[in-house]
């Protein structure tokens, strides 16, 4: 049995743009006829039809009330960067600053529409921060503040989660799951060109003057603060295991087996063994089903660089590392100013752009609740992480569009049959002749009217955006 879901609207189910001039009553028969002619045979009893008026509403609520008109300046303020002369005068911490806007992705498939939207939002926020300071510079401000604005850096970083599992290479033994990472198998390299192309395209879309970099997880795990962070997490492992992993009750900290050609890592850390010496340095033993235990110590930076984490633990480690980076860079800049050093010392501030499925209870319980508790474990306080949440892309039932479902046999078949399969894959989008920059333009419109960022969008809505553009292009030609 084939299932389909179709939204009947006069402007999005036909290539004849003139249909928009007719009423829904006049067109309903024609629309149904076109559906029957255009789609492969299906069981009529299995089809679900929804009729709507084509009007899009953006009712205010929660965050959209507060950020209905002004959004990007609030992000700047949350990063503790100056927005006026008094802000700048009161800070006096650094002679220059760099704002790093992070996005992340597990490169185990060609990016779908939701991932493209996150990338676009990051570059557009970077562009608007740059514009904000360009406008500030035109005002009546001091030469010192102008010099600071001239030197400020704004960049986008894609943090590829190459430590995500390669689902084609793992095993399940005696109730324990083992995996090999994308980093070990190098499987992600087949999809990497798609991510690189979207980054280049997004940078071009915002004018070409926002620099970007593509990092892997090794860039995170080799940060100087990571050993301290791991020591604190290991010290608090019982509580963290229960809260971050309520099923396994263990820290999902992994390390690939170092034996040549192996690379297996226990997925949930159930068999990890921990030892903390009197100075707080942690030694962690990991289990390989083929080669037995192997050990790392946090006193060895090369060992720490090999660590892998599941998503909640990685989120916590990353927030701590970026926060400590900000604190240390600000202290260095302050100390340089205090002794009158002429060299400009840069402070680094970080923010993230991610899908709004990571908002709500996820961030509240698995990140923001944990930070003060880890602070009490010896890490100290860090600046509150700044996170911009991109709207989710939902299917007809209100479920998040998922790459993991896309690769399962038969998943999203209805989208393929309805001509919307291109939203599942950047590669398919290109092959079908769809211009992904249409999504960039749509996200730009959301940012111009910020209340539109505090909601979700269905695949049917985005398909209509593409179809409306195609109708416009047809008329223009």
User: Does residue 230 have a pLDDT over 90?
Assistant: yes
Angle subtended at Cα 289 by Cα 283 and Cα 292, rounded to the nearest 5 degrees: 45
Candidate from 5-9, 127-131, 338-342 with smallest mean pLDDT:
5-9
* pLDDT band at 195; cut points 50, 70, 90: very high
Alpha carbons 91 and 86: distance in angstroms, whole number: 9
Alpha carbons 67 and 48: distance in angstroms, whole number: 36
Q: How far is CA 344 from its chain centroid?
A: 32
Where are the chain's structural domains? 63-390
User: Does residue 310 have a pLDDT over 90?
Assistant: yes
DSSP string, 276-336: E-TT--EEEEEEETTTEEEEEETT-HHHHTTEEE-HHHHHHHHHHHHHHHHHHHHHHHHHH
* CATH C-level class of 63-390: alpha beta
* pLDDT band at 59; cut points 50, 70, 90: confident
> Under a CB-based contact definition with an 8 Å cutoff, are residues 98 and 347 in contact?
yes
Q: What is the mean pLDDT of residues 285-306?
A: 96
| Structure confidence at residue 27 (pLDDT) | 61
CB-based contacts of 141, cutoff 8 Å, min separation 6: 84, 85, 88
E strand map for 32-163: 47-51, 96-105, 153-160
Candidate from 12-21, 249-258, 392-401 with smallest mean pLDDT:
12-21
Name the token pair of 443.
């996200």
Alpha carbons 7 and 112: distance in angstroms, whole number: 21
* pLDDT band at 279; cut points 50, 70, 90: very high
> Under a CB-based contact definition with an 8 Å cutoff, are residues 117 and 123 in contact?
no
* pLDDT (tens digit per residue) in 141-162: 999 999 999 999 999 999 999 9
CB-based contacts of 197, cutoff 8 Å, min separation 6: 426
Q: Which residue has the tokens 């927030």?
A: 319
| Structure confidence at residue 10 (pLDDT) | 44
Q: Fill in the DSSP letter of residue 313.
A: H
> Under a CB-based contact definition with an 8 Å cutoff, are residues 81 and 394 in contact?
no
More confident residue, 409 or 277: 277
Alpha carbons 357 and 392: distance in angstroms, whole number: 7
| Structure confidence at residue 220 (pLDDT) | 97
User: Does residue 256 have a pLDDT over 80?
Assistant: yes
Alpha carbons 222 and 325: distance in angstroms, whole number: 12
Name the token pair of 385.
């992480």
Alpha carbons 230 and 304: distance in angstroms, whole number: 8
| Structure confidence at residue 184 (pLDDT) | 93
CB-based contacts of 258, cutoff 8 Å, min separation 6: 294, 306
Backbone CA torsion sign across 267, 270, 275, 281: positive
366 to 105, 111, 269, 362: CA distances (angstroms): 19, 26, 18, 5
Half-sphere exposure of 441 (CA within 13 A, CB side): 9
């Amino acid at each position: 049995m084939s299932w389909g879901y179709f939204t009947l609207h006069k402007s999005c189910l036909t290539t004849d743009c003139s249909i928009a001039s007719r009423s829904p009553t006049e067109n309903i028969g024609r629309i149904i006829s076109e559906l029957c002619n255009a789609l492969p045979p299906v069981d009529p009893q299995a089809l679900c039809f929804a009729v709507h008026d084509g009007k899009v509403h953006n009712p205010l609520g929660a965050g959209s009330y507060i950020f209905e008109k002004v959004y990007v300046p609030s992000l700047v303020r949350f990063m503790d960067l100056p927005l006026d002369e008094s802000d700048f005068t009161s800070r006096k911490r650094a002679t220059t600053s760099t704002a790093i806007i992070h996005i992340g992705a597990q490169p185990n498939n060609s990016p779908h529409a939701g991932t493209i939207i996150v990338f676009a939002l990051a570059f557009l926020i970077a562009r608007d921060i740059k514009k904000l300071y360009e406008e500030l510079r035109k005002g009546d401000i001091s030469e010192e503040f102008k010099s600071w604005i001239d030197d400020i850096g704004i960049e986008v970083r894609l943090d590829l989660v190459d430590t995500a599992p390669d689902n084609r290479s793992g095993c399940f033994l005696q109730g324990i799951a083992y995996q090999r990472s994308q980093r070990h198998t190098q499987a992600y390299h087949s999809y990497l060109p798609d991510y690189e192309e979207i980054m280049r395209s997004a940078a071009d879309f915002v004018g070409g003057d926002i620099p970007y970099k593509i990092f892997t997880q090794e860039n995170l795990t080799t940060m100087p603060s990571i050993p301290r962070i791991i020591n604190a997490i290991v010290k608090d492992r019982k509580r963290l295991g229960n809260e971050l992993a309520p099923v396994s009750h263990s820290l999902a900290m992994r390390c690939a087996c170092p034996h040549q050609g192996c690379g297996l890592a226990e997925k949930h850390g159930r068999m990890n063994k921990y030892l903390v010496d009197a100075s707080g340095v942690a030694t962690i033993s990991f289990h390989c089903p083929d080669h037995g235990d192997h050990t790392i110590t946090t006193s060895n930076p090369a060992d720490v660089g090999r660590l892998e984490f599941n998503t909640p633990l990685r989120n916590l480690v990353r927030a701590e590392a970026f926060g400590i980076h900000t604190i240390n860079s600000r202290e260095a800049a302050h100390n340089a100013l205090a002794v009158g050093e002429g060299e400009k010392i840069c402070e680094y501030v970080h923010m993230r752009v991610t899908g709004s499925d990571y908002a709500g209870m996820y961030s509240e319980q698995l990140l923001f609740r944990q930070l003060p508790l880890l602070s009490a474990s010896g890490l100290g306080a860090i600046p509150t992480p700044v996170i911009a949440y991109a709207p989710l892309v939902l299917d007809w039932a209100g479920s998040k569009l998922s790459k993991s479902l896309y690769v399962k046999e038969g998943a999203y078949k209805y989208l393929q049959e309805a001509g919307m399969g291109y939203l599942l894959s950047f590669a398919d989008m290109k092959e079908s002749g769809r211009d992904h920059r249409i999504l960039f333009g749509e996200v730009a419109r959301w940012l111009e009217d910020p209340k539109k960022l505090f909601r979700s969008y269905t695949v049917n809505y985005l398909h209509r955006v593409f179809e409306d553009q195609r109708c416009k292009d047809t008329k223009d030609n």
